[in-house]
């Protein structure tokens, strides 16, 4: 019976698929994880750009926005369309630099941290956090 099973090619494809399927599934999951990371990274950067634009426009209008207002606006922009980030995993910090790198300008440091969702509970991956910082320079009127 063993000799007959050795010569029988009927189950070879099933065995080869059983050996290769975990590798293919792992590669597909990896590609999906990279795509989610890049999409969220792009969203965090775009939110920071929108926040910088908001700050500059408010200062051009003569409004002196405080750091808490900036953080609220950034959160509001981040959780709505088109970014749709989760507010529970989003941390926004706006702080005024004690000394500006540009004479006569006010420097506001904006930092956004976003922790990616763990969508594979059976795989123990470390939490990936996207961190993006940028300075915003405004000239107070």
What is the tens place of the pLDDT at every residue in 54-92? 999 999 999 989 999 999 999 999 999 999 999 999 999
* Residue-by-residue DSSP string for 101-126: SSTT-EEEEEEEEEEPP---TTS-PP
What pLDDT is recorded for position 128? Answer: 85
The pLDDT value recorded for residue 13 is 76
Identify the pLDDT of residue 55.
93
What's the rounded Cα separation, in Å, for the pair 121 and 118?
A: 7
User: Nearest 5°: CA angle at 60, between 100 and 109?
Assistant: 30
Residue numbers of the chain with a pLDDT score lower than 70: 1, 5-6, 120-125
pTM: 0.81
Query: Could you count the other beta carbons within 10 Å of the beta carbon of residue 82?
Result: 7
pLDDT of residue 130: 94
Render 20-80 in DSSP notation, one character per residue.
HHHHHHHHHHHHHHHHHHHHHHHHHHHHHHHHHHHHHHHHHTT----HHHHHHHHHHHHHS
The pLDDT of residue 64 = 86
Instruction: Report the alpha-carbon distance of residue 3 to residue 10 in Å, rounded.
Output: 14
Domain boundaries, the chain: 2-138
pLDDT of residue 123: 67
Residue linked to tokens 């941390």: 91
Residue 122 pLDDT: 67
């Amino acid at each position: 019976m063993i000799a007959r099973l050795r010569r029988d090619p009927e189950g070879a494809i099933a065995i080869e698929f059983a050996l290769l399927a975990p590798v293919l599934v792992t590669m597909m999951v990896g590609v999906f994880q990279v795509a989610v990371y890049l999409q969220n990274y792009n969203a965090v950067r775009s939110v920071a750009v929108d926040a910088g634009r908001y700050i500059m426009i408010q200062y051009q209008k003569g409004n002196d926005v405080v750091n808490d207002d900036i953080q609220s606006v950034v959160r509001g922009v981040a959780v709505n369309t088109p970014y749709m980030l989760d507010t529970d995993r989003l941390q926004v910090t706006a702080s005024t630099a004690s000394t500006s790198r540009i004479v006569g300008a006010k420097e506001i440091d904006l930092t956004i941290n976003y922790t990616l969702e763990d969508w594979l509970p059976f795989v123990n991956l470390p939490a990936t956090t996207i961190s993006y910082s940028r300075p915003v320079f405004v000239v107070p009127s």
